[in-house]
A and B are shown apart, each in its own frame.
Chain A
Amino acid sequence: MSSPSSGGASRDGYGKGLLRLAEDPRVVVLEADLGKSTKSHHFREKFPERTVSLGIAEQNMMIVAAGMASSGKIPYASTFAIFTERAFEQIRNGIARAGLNVHICGSHGGIHTGSDGSSAQSIEDLGIYRTIPNMAVIHPCDDLSAEELTVLTRDLNSPSYMRTVRNKVPRIYSVEEVKKLKIGKGSVIRDGNDVAIISCGIMVGIAHNASEKLKSQGISACVVDMHTIKPLDNDLLMELANKCGCFVTAEDHSIIGGLGSAVSEWASSEIPLPIEKIAVRDRFGESGEPNELLEQMGMSEENIVEAVNKVINRKKMQY
């Protein structure tokens, strides 16, 4: 695949995805006073009659969405990722248990959110929503893939949670490549044989940069955009395990419960192999620039390179 070029934030992709979904009259948009931030406001401006403003009341918004879905609408409800968590029980009991076709978008996910500080940096969302039966959990890596995956959620006919991020990151996909994405199918953005770096969100671009450094060290790293954390692409994981024999996972999320946990759960029952996890190590964030925070948390390119060397050494020790 092409190397990263300048792009947008995944929340911009969500906004554009909603505009593409507008041709379906069943699609409605729900907001809790953060439409300008999550980017649903583009839909609101063009289709006010299909946009419902619910004020700063996330629990109500989630269940209003459930009621609308039960009446044949396909609701897209968004707020900050952290504030969706306030309505976790509503999402669990009111949306997912009834299997309703409600699509939740939590923007400003992860420590990459930056200077707003720890109250706005959701690092639990992927983990908690992954525990809910029948719920798809999606975390795109750039604006184009966020747009495409948003459009694809419509036909799931079951609930989904998508985390987007606040800040712009280099684009991973081209306009043509992104059309190949499917929910539940990981995407290999760089092929390699020595290690598979399985990543999501903003860490995909960082993993890609790390793979360039590794190449100069003579290490051939496969880089995967695992945009769907649930359902996890088990077939791809098996293929990569057989080919590479060790994994590094990379996510802007707590080390507990997210992509690294999901991959480890799969491996422990299918094909145990060395795994290193790049993630937030069970702590809260703080204010700062995104790149400063990534460095402070041990989630930089260099940290990925180190983790790869570690995991390759452990693989060698096995033989």
Chain B
Amino acid sequence: MSYEIEPLSMMAKRCRKDIIEMIYSAKSGHPGGSLSSIDIIVALYQTALNFRIDDMNWADRDRFIMSKGHASPAVYSILHQLGVISKEDILSFRRLGSVCQGHVDMKWTEGIDFSAGSLGMGLSYGLGCALAAKMDNSERNIWVMIGDGETQEGQIWEAAMSASYHSSNNLKVIVDRNRIQNDDFVEKQMEIGDIGQKFDSFGWNVREIDGHNMEEILEVLKWAKEEKSGPCAIIAHTIKGKGISFMENNPSFHGKSPSEEEFNIAMEELQ
């Protein structure tokens, strides 16, 4: 293993604190899906994503498309930890004029590649970036993160079918399989079944991991980066609200800010 696990886990913990702080400061936002995805996002930015910290608009950078745009605090936290945006920026989350809009928005925030907020679009956008990269004879990879509830959107499967047809081997999707969506558990809202098998049947290379096990994450990112036989799907089994006891696996923290008491408990748990 060429990367140390410990620094990544420490960074993920700092990101979790940022996530809780910015949502508490805004008194609104989506903690559950931010906390479930942050371990993967930290590992992606630190070990797999090819970008230049001093030139976030470098044309030949890898793209990271956060399709589940409500988990914006996860992306803002990593951009803050990397020094791209400031503490003031993240604490102004969701306020008028803030660079940290409610959902990730490429017009407002340096380092954001996609204006999300409407589920189901990010994979198509990533495919567009992937096709353009091929036309430019570029080696850049396109990484897309989608939610598991998001796969209920038909457009995800339009994109999955066309990425396979176009042999987009530079397109990598990570499914944050946290099993909870806005109203309730996915299995109660509309069970989506075996997502890995579905992507497999659409012609994708598929691997499944524990999305909180840093060793597994690093290994699968390395695999996805090197796999060139077609598009890759990583099904990351995660826990919604991971890291905060009372948020874990709790549908009510999909899109709710903690109270003052809950905030204090959360920050204590993250010490």
Query: Do residues B115 and A67 form an inter-chain contact, with CB atoms below 8 A?
Result: no
Query: Do residues B106 and A55 form an inter-chain contact, with CB atoms below 8 A?
Result: no
Any A CB within 8 A of the CB of B262: no
Query: Do residues A70 and B129 form an inter-chain contact, with CB atoms below 8 A?
Result: yes
Q: Which residues of the other chain, B, contact A73 by a CB distance below 8 angstroms?
A: 132, 135
Within 8 A of A (CB), among B154-174: 154-155, 158-159, 161-162, 165-166
Q: Which residues of the other chain, A, contact B106 by a CB distance below 8 angstroms?
A: 70, 98
Query: Do residues B121 and A93 form an inter-chain contact, with CB atoms below 8 A?
Result: yes
Query: Do residues B107 and A67 form an inter-chain contact, with CB atoms below 8 A?
Result: no
Query: Do residues A94 and B125 form an inter-chain contact, with CB atoms below 8 A?
Result: yes
**Assembly CA distance A52 to B167 (angstroms):** 12
Chain A at the B interface: SS class: helix
Query: Do residues A49 and B135 form an inter-chain contact, with CB atoms below 8 A?
Result: yes
Query: Do residues A64 and B125 form an inter-chain contact, with CB atoms below 8 A?
Result: yes
**Assembly CA distance A52 to B129 (angstroms):** 13
Q: Given A59-B158, A89-B118, do A52 and B107 touch, yes or no (CB 8 Å)?
A: no
Any B CB within 8 A of the CB of A65: yes
Q: Which residues of the other chain, B, contact A54 by a CB distance below 8 angstroms?
A: 158, 162
Query: Do residues B121 and A94 form an inter-chain contact, with CB atoms below 8 A?
Result: yes
Any A CB within 8 A of the CB of B181: no
Q: Which residues of the other chain, A, contact B249 by a CB distance below 8 angstroms?
A: none
Q: Which residues of the other chain, A, contact B154 by a CB distance below 8 angstroms?
A: 59
CB distance from B136 to the nearest CB of A (A): 8
Q: Which residues of the other chain, B, contact A68 by a CB distance below 8 angstroms?
A: 128-129, 131-132
A58-95 contact mask (Cβ, 8 Å, vs B): 1 or 0? 01101111111111110100000000000001100110
Query: Do residues A64 and B127 form an inter-chain contact, with CB atoms below 8 A?
Result: yes
CB distance from A94 to the nearest CB of B (A): 5
**Assembly CA distance A287 to B162 (angstroms):** 34
Closest to B166 in A: A52
CB distance from B124 to the nearest CB of A (A): 4
**Assembly CA distance A53 to B128 (angstroms):** 12
Query: Do residues B125 and A67 form an inter-chain contact, with CB atoms below 8 A?
Result: yes
Query: Do residues A71 and B155 form an inter-chain contact, with CB atoms below 8 A?
Result: no
Query: Do residues A66 and B132 form an inter-chain contact, with CB atoms below 8 A?
Result: no
CB distance from A64 to the nearest CB of B (A): 4
Any B CB within 8 A of the CB of A195: no
Q: Given A89-B118, A93-B121, do A64 and B128 touch, yes or no (CB 8 Å)?
A: yes
Any A CB within 8 A of the CB of B18: no
A1-41 contact mask (Cβ, 8 Å, vs B): 1 or 0? 00000000000000000000000000010000000000000
Query: Do residues A70 and B128 form an inter-chain contact, with CB atoms below 8 A?
Result: yes
Query: Do residues B161 and A94 form an inter-chain contact, with CB atoms below 8 A?
Result: no
Q: Given A93-B121, A99-B107, do A57 and B158 touch, yes or no (CB 8 Å)?
A: yes
Q: Which residues of the other chain, A, contact B114 by a CB distance below 8 angstroms?
A: 70, 98
Any B CB within 8 A of the CB of A50: yes
Q: Which residues of the other chain, A, contact B132 by a CB distance below 8 angstroms?
A: 28, 67-68, 71-73
Q: Which residues of the other chain, A, contact B155 by a CB distance below 8 angstroms?
A: 57, 59-60, 63, 90
Q: Which residues of the other chain, B, contact A52 by a CB distance below 8 angstroms?
A: 131, 166
Any B CB within 8 A of the CB of A97: yes
**Assembly CA distance A147 to B160 (angstroms):** 34
Query: Do residues B59 and A67 form an inter-chain contact, with CB atoms below 8 A?
Result: no
Most chain B CB neighbours (cut-off 10 Å) among A49, A70, A99? A70
CB within 8 A of B128: which of A50, A59, A71, A97?
A71
Query: Can you list 28 residue pairs at the A/B interface with Cβ under 8 Å?
Result: A28-B132, A52-B131, A55-B158, A55-B161, A55-B165, A57-B158, A62-B124, A64-B125, A64-B127, A64-B131, A64-B162, A65-B128, A66-B125, A66-B128, A67-B124, A67-B127, A68-B128, A69-B128, A70-B114, A70-B125, A71-B128, A72-B136, A75-B128, A90-B124, A93-B117, A94-B121, A97-B105, A98-B106
List the 8 closest A-B pairs by CB distance, nearest first: A67-B128, A71-B132, A63-B124, A60-B158, A57-B158, A64-B128, A67-B125, A68-B128
B residues lining the A interface (CB < 8 Å): 59, 65, 105-107, 113-115, 117-118, 120-121, 124-133, 135-136, 154-155, 158-159, 161-162, 165-166
Known: A57-B155, A94-B115. 9 other contacts (CB 8 A): A49-B135, A54-B162, A59-B158, A67-B125, A67-B128, A68-B129, A68-B132, A72-B132, A73-B132
